[in-house]
Amino acid sequence: MRRIVLEDGTALAVAVREAAAGAEHGPGMGRRTPSALVLLHALGTDHRIWDGVVARLPPALRIIRPDMRGHGASDVPPAPYGMGRLVSDVEAICDALGIRDAVVVGLSIGGLIAQGLAVKRLDLVRGLVLSNTAARIGNAGLWADRIAAVRTGGMAAIAEATLERWAGRDLPGTAGWDLAREMLLATDPEGWIGCAHAVAGADFLATTATLRLAVLGIAGGEDGSVPPDMLRETLDLIPGARFHLMRRAGHLPCLEDPEGHAAVLAGYLAEIGHV
């Protein structure tokens, strides 16, 4: 894990898989600079949520997986955080690592961050994959109740209800289920609360409608956190955006079916000439 220190002193942990030595990159397989893929995780998880997907993606890709502030091995500044701050964090990581023209894949809150980054810095983003997310997730009252529960009782106070919303029929009892529970319970409550405030205040309906780039949406047919129709409504804002439904998956298809999720992602990357 690399550590990137931001201007506010916060250190973010970033997993970087460099492109395989000697691999050809991009259209025509003659490109010298590896194509970059940035993977942004969900609230209450960390970069490990992508492990099974990364292992199945082409070796020519340079893959960047940050731990959001307040999550994983990153620092935990005092809550609350704003969505603009989370977008700026990813922007700073891309600048520090010399990334341009990346495909950014965002899951849940990661999808909100990805939308904000594409609006702010289109030079960094040539394509978006919005997985199990929307331009607006929940409402202020819903998030206020969850924040109050975590402030009082820690992550255990919301763990079972969260896992129930996350789970598709195939996740419980698997290694992915165990990892989801482990990551959620290990999340620092202050970090979760900070990012929950960001989600509560985020509304990208107007700004996402201005995007003009290649966008793929991936939904889980059994997602209890962000149902497929919410993602469809967001994709309808973006001309040409495509929708893919993973019918048996819940909120975390990268854990439930990493092979299927990676195949959909690899197909999109090939279609836009990113591999």
- CA 260 to CA 249: how far, in whole Å? 10
232/241 Cα distance (integer angstroms): 9
Q: Is the dihedral of CA 159, 163, 164, 165 positive or negative?
A: positive
3-state SS of 113-127 is HHHHHHHHCCCCEEE
5 three-state secondary structure: strand
Question: Is the backbone peptide bond immediately before 80 cis, with ω within 30 degrees of 0?
Answer: yes
pTM value? 0.96
Question: 134 — phi, psi (to 5°)?
Answer: -160, 175
SS3 86: helix
The pair of three-digit structure tokens given for residue 106, joined into one six-digit string: 């965002």
- Taking the C-alpha atoms of residue 234 and residue 236, their distance in angstroms, rounded to an integer, is 5
CB-based contacts of 153, cutoff 8 Å, min separation 6:
none
Contact 86, 69 (CB under 8 A): yes
| H or E element, residue 241 | none
State which amino acid sits at residue 214: A
Q: Which of 108, 104, 43 is nearest to 70 (CA)?
A: 43
Q: Can you state the angle between helices 140-153 and 156-166, rounded to 10 degrees?
A: 130
* CATH code for position 83: 3.40.50.1820
What is the full per-residue pLDDT of the chain (275 aa) written as tens digits?
999 999 999 999 999 999 998 765 554 445 568 999 999 999 999 999 999 999 999 999 999 999 999 999 999 999 999 999 999 999 999 999 999 999 999 999 999 999 999 999 999 999 999 999 999 999 999 999 999 999 999 999 999 999 999 999 999 999 999 999 999 999 999 999 999 999 999 999 999 999 999 999 999 999 999 999 999 999 999 999 999 999 999 999 999 999 999 999 999 999 999 99
Residue 28 pLDDT: 44
C-alpha to C-alpha distances, 223 to 146, 192, 231, 235, 248, nearest whole angstrom: 18, 20, 11, 17, 9
Instruction: Give the domain extent around 49.
Output: 2-271
> How many domains is the chain built from?
1
Token code pair at residue 191: 């970090």
Cβ burial 110-138 (10 Å sphere, 16+ → b, else e): bbbbbbbbbbbbeebbbbbbbbbbbbbbb
pLDDT at 25: 53
In this predicted structure, what is the pLDDT of residue 250? Answer: 97
d(CA 101, CA 195): 26
Which among 195, 38, 14 is positioned nearest to 5, based on CA atoms? 14
Position 26 scores a pLDDT of: 53
Query: 189-200 vs 109-120: helix axis angle to the nearest 10?
Result: 60
- 71 exposure class (CB count in 10 Å sphere: 0-12, 13-18, 19+): buried
